[in-house]
Structure 1
Amino acid sequence: MSLGQLLSAPPAIVAAGVDVFSDALRAQGADVTDVDWRPPGFGDPADLAALALDPRRAVANRTAVERLMAAGSQLVDVRPAREVLGLPDRTLLHSGPPLTWDMASGPMRGALIGACLFEGWASTVEEAEKILAAGEITLDPCHHHRTVGPMAGVTSPSMWMWCLSDPVNGGRAFCNLNEGLGKVLRMGAYNEEVLTRLAWMRDVLGPILSRAVRDPIDAGADPLDVKAVLAQMLQMGDEGHNRNRAGSLMTLRELSPAIVEVDAPASDIAAVLKFIGGNEHFFLNLGMPTAKLAMDAARDVPGSSMVTVMSRNGTEFGIQTAGTGDRWFTGPANTPVGLFLGDYGPEDANPDIGDSAIMETYGVGGFTMAAAPAIVRFVGGSVPDALATTERMYQLTLAENPAMQVPILGFRGSPTGIDVLKVARTGWLPQINTGMAGRVAGTGQVGAGLVQPPQECFEKALAALAEESRAAA
């Protein structure tokens, strides 16, 4: 059809939405085709209206975002969990919302078994399973102790912890030390290799790192600015969750002069440097408590619809919001989709697990995939997918964080501050980059991929926030 024919022909009109527009056109003799289309959002319309019309919301969200962005992160110590957390004997922390042994997934059970063997509470796998099933071991989420743990996140009293401090808000946050990749406790493995490594981390790595961190500070040096390292990583091809190469190397550069000054056998010093240098995810366990410090600073802001926690325990996914404090809103964890190691396949992968989604909650990781296009070689997808993901996340968030810039987007600040209302209105869910643990206890890592929270978490949070808005009216 030529342009002249197109303009001379009767108009063909397609209308979507309310009937007022199409009815008016029909009244004028026009031929109108109605399409039953509506925004792909979710939630009770009354709840959406209550939250959207809450007069406190704009100021509350601005307050939460300002606290988040102002938060700093300094590495001030390395200490055993029993000292810095007051973690008593026969108590284990885990990732995600609360769980029991009965509901624990394969990798979570494997990590809990391994921790009992490591602590000497059991001498065999069967004995560990027995005391866990009998409730003789107390289980509690890491998040209840200002702590985060990747994957299973299991933390026992003897494990050494990174201790980070927020110099602006005075908060503290903690995370255990990263074991590396493959068959590791956090992925649910608990064989002799895993237990031997954990013992070495307890007896050698932890004490040396403690001195390397504390001695310079005691001598008057400034603590390591971990937030600054995280910001630099995004300029160097990392996204801060599944890709931490640059961050781990920068951390090694900053700590190595103090490590070699520690009064310890040369063989131990060499082993520590080799371990850090060969562990591309070493920084992750520093980045996570950095994000935790920022999100904790934004807690307890009445009227705010900003998400402060996204976390999963291998069975359930849970979120918390600034306006509802410590309440968990949970749903069944989805299984990641991505790339697999060796002969593993989708049937081997456990549902989503780990506190490491605190990185996306902070606005990096899956939210800054555009800063690390090479990540798609590890988690799947394409470079255009990485760029599109970051662009989409801006539609779900309240602000752009100028401290966390994305070079390929003209150094635009990362999308920061997930808004429950925006998630519900768009129907889009946050994107998370993650590792995949084997479904069967003892397997270890089987791959890495992409995953989203279940919509149910946000539906429950929306309803709770709306209820709180009505109560405050």
Structure 2
Amino acid sequence: MNTLFNQPLKVVNVGLQSFAGNLQQVGGDVTPLSWQPPAAGDVQAGLYLAALLRHPLVEQANQIAFERYLSAQPVLVDVMEAREAIPAMAQRKLILHSGPPISWANMCGPVKGAIVGAILFEGWATTHEAAELMAHNGEVDLEPCHHYHAVGPMAGIISPSMPLWVIENKTNGQRAFSNFNEGLGKVLRFGANNDEVLQRLHWMREELAPALKAAVGELGELELKPLMSQALHMGDEVHNRNAAATGLLCKRLFPALLACNLPPDQLQRVVAFITSNDHFFLNLSMTACKSMMDAAANVPFSSMVTVMARNGVNFGIRLSGLGDQWFQAPANPVEGLFFPGYGVDDAAADLGDSAITETAGVGGFAMASSPAIVKFVGGTPDDATNNSRRMQAITIGANQAFTLPALNFAATAAGIDARKVADRSILPIINTGIAHKQAGVGQIGAGITTAPLSCFVDAIQALAQAVAAGESA
């Protein structure tokens, strides 16, 4: 023992970082070890997790789900009104919102404001007060976009007469949908619902949508994975940065638009609208990712995550092996950069379906391809690279269709495995915008957030019970 204490002190610190700091101050050689007990320290959940690790049924199911994800070929095939693309919207007053299910009473300000705007847009009410009363009284059905193979950014609102992008997975024929990106400023997705917003929505339905439908018809089809892959090589991560992807889309769309013999003034307005918005491709990126994740859904016993989404209050996930079941927890705060004059107290909780991009292995998972994104969400280029590497620890594999130049063209980590998240306490990272908590103020910043661990712990327990039931059947 005397010999031991005469040697230089070398310590591995597990637990509070302050312990390591104290030892370092007195000259100790300290290696901090970041470790947390599996399943957030829940003993029963830990036992469920242990039963699922390397379980042959789960391993086989994950390989099936992951292969279906990799094989998906999302292609832009059409533009349709929502009531035509989603038959349920033609049968009743239905408005879709982002994230997991939530009642009107519990919704955040931006989502409520956007729903009021959608009711006014549809002509179901003529005043804001009447529209709000309709929603409060349950005269309008409110359901998640994900329940209808759809996604929408921020508030995520889709109402019956809104135009939608129609994406078809050529591998299985299944379709996915998203609304159009409105641009910046006062927009419905942030809860704005004044005359300017409504007039823009009407123009998008009456002039933009027919032009884009004609252009897509002229193109025939547009494969989206190759375009997204190229954008990753040009500095996008196709979630919070879509400048390159939007430019690539314009190169394909504009010649088709010119071939459609549209009135020159309409063509000018359409082109000006698209080119003024670097995020125009975002909704296509989200829909392509939704198409890929839908392909992986509903594989019994799979622990692969097929949905991550937020409604401004809660964060929700779905697992392939548990069908339509949601697992929810309060949304984590967003750490990032705020626009001048705004701060944490002004921000709504994390919001939107756009985390479907991270679910599919891009967005935050592909930050290494987009060093410029850190100027918008905070951190350094090294942080972006490290985030992409960390995600390899919680995924089933990698997607060779999406490669990262900064990592020597390594494929993006993909196929989030809920078991690995619960076991290693490494949370899926998400790039996101920050919305003001009041309807209509708009975006007040951007940053990085993570999915809450408890969603994955709850999902693991439910999956373990399903696997046990399957074994005994």
- With structure 1 as the length reference, what TM-score do the two structures score? 0.91
Q: 1:318 aligns with which of 316, 320, 329?
A: 316
Aligned residue identity for 2:159: S
Quote the offset at 1:381 in angstroms. 1.2
- Pairwise mapping of residues 133-144 of structure 1 onto structure 2 (< 5 A)? 133-144=136-147
Check whether the contact 2:218–2:259 (CA below 8 A) recurs between aligned residues: no
- The residue aligned with 1:69 is 70
> 1:369 aligned to 367, 370, 385, which one?
367
Counterpart of 1:316, as a letter, is N
Deviation at 1:53, TM superposition (A): 4.7
Cα distance in structure 1, aligned partners of 2:134 and 2:106? 15
CA deviation map 1:382-411 (0-9, x unaligned): 111111111111111110110000001010
User: 1:165-314 to 2 correspondence within 5 Å?
Assistant: 165-217=168-220, 223-314=221-312
CA contact (8 A) 2:38 2:46 kept: no
1:268-291 CA-partner distances (Å, limit 9, x unpaired) = 100101111111011111111111
Structure 1 residue 125 displacement after superposition? 1.0
Residues in 1 aligned to 2:409 and 2:373: alpha-carbon distance in whole angstroms: 19
Counting aligned pairs with the same residue, the percent is 49
From 35, 38, 42, give the equivalent of 1:41: 38
Contact 1:48 1:462 in 2 (8 A): yes
Distance 1:36 1:383, change over 3 A: closer
Give TM-score scaled by structure 2 length.
0.91
How far does the alpha carbon of each residue in 1:352-395 deviate from its partner, in whole angstroms, 9 at most, with x for none? 11110000000000001110010011111111111111111111
Matched residue, 2:427: 429
1:442 match: 440
- Once the two structures are TM-superposed, the CA of residue 262 in structure 1 deviates from its matched residue by 2.4
- Corresponding residue for residue 106 of structure 1: 109
Q: Name structure 1 gaps, 5 residues minimum.
A: 1-5, 18-34, 218-222
Instruction: State the distance in 1 between where 2:48 and 2:449 align.
Output: 27
CA-CA distance at 1:259 after TM superposition: 0.9
Where does residue 23 of structure 1 map in the other structure? Answer: none
8 Å contact kept, 1:82–1:158: yes
Displacement of 1:333 in angstroms is: 1.4
Residues 274 and 425 (structure 1), Cα distance of their counterparts in 2 relative to 1, 3 Å cut: same
| 2:25 corresponds to | none
Unaligned runs of 5+ in 2: 15-31
Shift of 1:37: 9.3
Give the Cα separation in 2 of the matches to 1:409 and 1:145: 36
| Structure 1 residue 152 corresponds to structure 2 residue 155 | yes
Whole-angstrom distance in 2 between the partners of 1:260 and 1:153 = 31
Shift of 1:14: 6.2
The farther-off stretch of 51-60 and 457-466 is 51-60
User: Aligned pair in 2 of structure 1 residues 419, 268: CA closer, same or farther (>3 Å)?
Assistant: same
Which piece of structure 1 moves more, 444-453 or 146-155? 444-453
Q: Distance in 1 between matches of 2:456 and 2:139?
A: 34
Amino acid paired to 1:415:
A
* Structural RMSD (CA): 2.1
CA contact (8 A) 1:106 1:440 kept: yes
Counterpart CA distance in 2 for 1:337 and 1:363 is 21
- Name the residue aligned to 2:128: 125
**Cross-structure match for 2:449:** 451
Q: 2:381 aligns with which of 383, 388, 391?
A: 383
Write out per-residue CA displacement over residues 323-363 of structure 1, whole angstroms, 9 at most, x where no aligned residue.
11110000111231211223121111100111100000000
Write the distance in 1 (CA, Å) between the matches of 2:108 and 2:229: 34
Task: Give the secondary structure class of the aligned counterpart of 1:356.
Answer: coil
Report the alpha carbon displacement of residue 16 of structure 1 after superposing the two structures with TM: 8.9
How many Å apart are 1:441 and its aligned residue? 1.4
Bigger shift: 238-247 or 35-44? 35-44
CA distance in 2, matches of 1:231, 1:357: 18
The amino acid across from 2:77 in the alignment is V
Larger Rg: 1
What is the match of residue 58 of structure 1?
Answer: 59
What is the identity, as a one-letter code, of the residue corresponding to 1:338? G
Residues 67-101 of structure 1: CA deviation (Å, up to 9, x unaligned): 10110111100010011112135210111111111
Give the Cα–Cα distance (whole angstroms) in 1 for the partners of residues 171 and 373 of structure 2.
Answer: 32
Query: Aligned pairs, how many?
Result: 447
Q: Give the alignment partner of residue 402 of structure 2, picking from 401, 404, 424.
A: 404
Letter in 1 for 2:72: A
Distance 1:128 1:55, change over 3 A: same
Deviations 1:272-313 (A, max 9, x none): 011111110111111111111111111111221110000011
Contact preservation (8 Å) 1:54, 1:469 = no
Alignment partners' CA distance in 2, 1:339 and 1:196? 31
Please tell me whether the aligned partners of residues 52 and 419 of structure 2 are also in contact (alpha carbons under 8 angstroms): yes
Q: 2:95 aligns with which of 92, 97, 106?
A: 92
The answer to whether the 8 Å contact 1:188/1:437 transfers is no
- Aligned 8 A contact 1:178 1:282 in 2: yes
